[in-house]
Structures are given as structure tokens and as C-alpha cells.
Amino acid sequence: MAASSTDPTQQLNDYIKTMHDQGILDDNFDQLLALRREQNPRFINELISMFTNDAEAYIAEITNALSLTEVDFSTIISKLHQLKGSTSGIGGHRMYQACCELRVAADDGDKDRCDELFLRVKEEFNTLKQCLDSISQMRSNIISNGTRSRRRRPL
């Protein structure tokens, strides 16, 4: 087994590449990283936190709409639209695909298929959330190591 890099930056690069290879992230995540250089160093972490909080809220609302005796497909479509949009913006490729499939089922008013496909959306969200949380943690470590280095510099 090849020795893994101990450089935190390289570890982060390698991790993101792996997420790309597995289809969890796509080029839209790279676009965030390109924006990162123009913004504060914690921008990516804040955006990830915003996305996951809002996604959890959308998922809760879709869960509720699906659980009604008379399924509220209108709410499902509305919340799924926003979930799909934010997922595409963050670069969550597999989750985005799962949302697209669920949208078709919701448009058809097919509750059974919605239930099945919504399970997949939630699974992909959990996978994406773990991935993004790992990226956030690695970035926090890089940023805090950088802060400690700057403090050690002589005045």
C-alpha cells in the first residue's frame, strides 16, 4: 500500500479527487473553490453549513408532504425544486441525479415511486453531507494551522 501524503493540503486535494471519481461531487464544486480565492478563507465552510441546514429543512418538508393522506405533490415539487437547485450549486452530482428522478415521479403523482426515490435522495444527501463535513474539517485544520504559523513568525 502506497504511503498517503501527510501534507494536509495534498490530503484535501486527494479527497476531493476521490469524491469526483465516485460521482459524489462534480465540476460545480470546483466553481465554488475558484470563487473561494476571492472571498474569506471560511467561505466554503460557511456555504457548506448553509447548504446542509437548508437541505435538511427541505427534506423534512418533503417528508411531511409525502406522509399526508392526500399527498401534497405541489409542496414536494416546490421544495424539491429548491433542493435540486442548491444541490447543483454545491456540486452534489449523485444527489442531484436522485432529485431529478424524484421530480419525475412527483410530476406523475406516483406516491409509491416517490417514496422509493425519496429514500435514495436521503441516502445520497447523507453521503454528500459526510463528504462536505470532511472537507470542512480538513479546511478548518488547514486554516488554523496557517493561523498558528503566522503567529510564530517573528515581528
Minimal distance in Å, beta carbon 138 to another protein? 10
- Cβ nearer to another protein, comparing 47 with 62: 47
Give the H or E element holding residue 57: helix 43-67
Minimal distance in Å, beta carbon 147 to another protein? 7
> Among 15, 18, 122, which residue's Cα sits nearest to residue 61?
122
Q: Which spans of this chain sit near another protein (rule: CB under 8 A)?
A: 9-10, 12-13, 16-17, 20, 27-28, 30-43, 46-47, 49-51, 53-54, 77-78, 81-82, 84-86, 88-90, 100, 139, 142-143, 145-147, 149-150
Minimal distance in Å, beta carbon 107 to another protein? 9
3-state class percentages of the chain: helix first, strand second, coil last, to nearest 5 = 80, 0, 20
> Among 114, 120, 125, which residue's Cα sits nearest to residue 66?
114
